[in-house]
Amino acid sequence: MFRAVFSFLIAFTILFTSSAYAHPGKTDANGGHTCRTNCEKWGLKTGEYHYHDKNGNIIRQKSKAAGVPAIRINSKHIVKVIRVVDGDTIDVRFSNGATSRVRFIGVNTPETVHPQKPVEKYGKEASNYTKKRLTNKTVTLEFDVGVKDKYGRFLAYVWVGKELYNETLVKDGYARVMTIQPNVKYQQRFLEAERKARQQKKGLWNV
């Protein structure tokens, strides 16, 4: 009798824990994933990226061994891309192990993960292109005058060797130019790349 009651209590505890904390969805290589359905039920926002500990508890931000290095105006930092969020946004790891999200300066790819917008035309193509080009790659982030946006993301130009990747997205028709003051260092390069992409009807200009 005691054994039966004990087994029932264990089963009830497991069931309760699962229903309280766990929710569907495969995790990525970093151990996290994005909530897409019934997010409020789990105390999350739609599109919010998060992790789970070994007990299934939701963790919004993975603990870091070190803080992000001091980012100064016009500075450069070599980082590793650990995740591509969409065509113009990536997660990176700095040399000291700290991680952060980075939004590309001066360009805007069609939305794929916005919590309040549907997937836009050519958004998946742009996202897949950036995943193919940058996932697990070592790149250089170049900062301008405005280091962060209103969402707390770092703003940077992304260099792959001598290639300015922000410009490549525009040149190949994966992104439009989006200039936000005071970050205008390569504005003219981006505008010229967009002009040529439109003339040649590349990518999103041919949709």
- What domains lie within the chain, and their CATH numbers? 34-63 (no CATH), 76-205 (2.40.50.90)
Contact assessment for residue 88 and residue 107, using Cβ atoms and an 8 Å cutoff: yes
Calculate what percentage of the chain has a pLDDT beyond 90: 60
* 111 in active site: yes
Q: Is the pTM of this model over 0.75?
A: no
SS3 91: strand
- pLDDT higher than 50, residue 110: yes
In degrees and rounded to multiples of 5, residue 196 shows phi and psi of -70, -40
* 93 in active site: no
* 153 in active site: yes
In degrees and rounded to multiples of 5, residue 69 shows phi and psi of -60, 155
Note the pLDDT of residue 123.
84
Annotated active-site residue in 103, 133, 142, 167: 103
- What is the mean pLDDT of the segment spanning 108-117? 79
- pLDDT higher than 50, residue 16: no
Annotated active-site residue in 36, 93, 101, 153: 153
